[in-house]
Amino acid sequence: METIIDLCDGAWLLDGFLPNEPLIPVYQKGPLPLPAVPEILARVPGSVHDDLLAAGLIPDWNDALNSNLGEWVNNRQWRYRRSVHVPDDWQGQAIVLCADGLDHSGGVYVDGQQVATFEGSLRRHEFILTPHLEAGRTSELSIVFDPSPRIAGGCGLTSTIDRIKPRFGYGWDWCMPLVNVGIWDSIALQGRG
């Protein structure tokens, strides 16, 4: 028997950090540093750019040269987080996080501990969270995205590309540089019996 908890809802929060700051608690005791970008509501599926625009933290990139004012977004690490409650009747089942659109790389955390990593914006990811989540308990789930990889846009040589990530987001003759980052497709917890 398989049961699903859809995580595409309004329960996600988003904040941004300078590169590697989310890893500081791994190396030292103490709280996470204050984020470089304060916590805002996030829409999942969606993108960091859309959430920052909705919160008034970046201007509309479609207006004049405003896209230049949002290029800093890809030089941050972004953390999506929310609480998840595992139902009591999932006792004895495998608990799997299924994500169809994580763009592009980063880590999955449960209650502040890294439990998995991922890479690849156009692939389905499945993470076995059974050792980290318990039936009948609420935990904090976080997905931390690395800064966007450096990839040549439309003017670069295809032979130099070693990552599967859409190149048009890096600038093309028909679009401005606006590199997607975030949870852009469905995400759910599955209990597999």
In sequence order, what are the residues at sequence separation of 6 or more whose Cβ sits closer than 8 angstroms to the Cβ of residue 172? 153, 154
15 compared with 172, residue with greater pLDDT: 15
Predicted local distance difference test score (pLDDT) of residue 159: 62
| pLDDT (tens digit per residue) in 78-132 | 999 999 999 999 999 999 999 999 998 999 999 999 999 999 888 899 999 999 9
Predicted local distance difference test score (pLDDT) of residue 168: 59
Q: What is the reported pTM?
A: 0.86
Cα distances from 165 to residues 68, 120, 180, in angstroms, run 21, 7, 9
Nearest to 103 by CA among 76, 89, 122: 122
8 Å CB contact between 156 and 172: no
Q: State the burial class of residue 164 (Cβ atoms within 10 Å of its Cβ: 0-12, 13-18, 19+).
A: exposed
3-state secondary structure of 188: strand
Q: Which of 49-58, 130-139, 144-153 shows the lowest mean pLDDT across its residues?
A: 144-153
Overall average pLDDT of the 42-65 stretch? 94
- Integer Cα distance of 115 and 96 in angstroms: 12
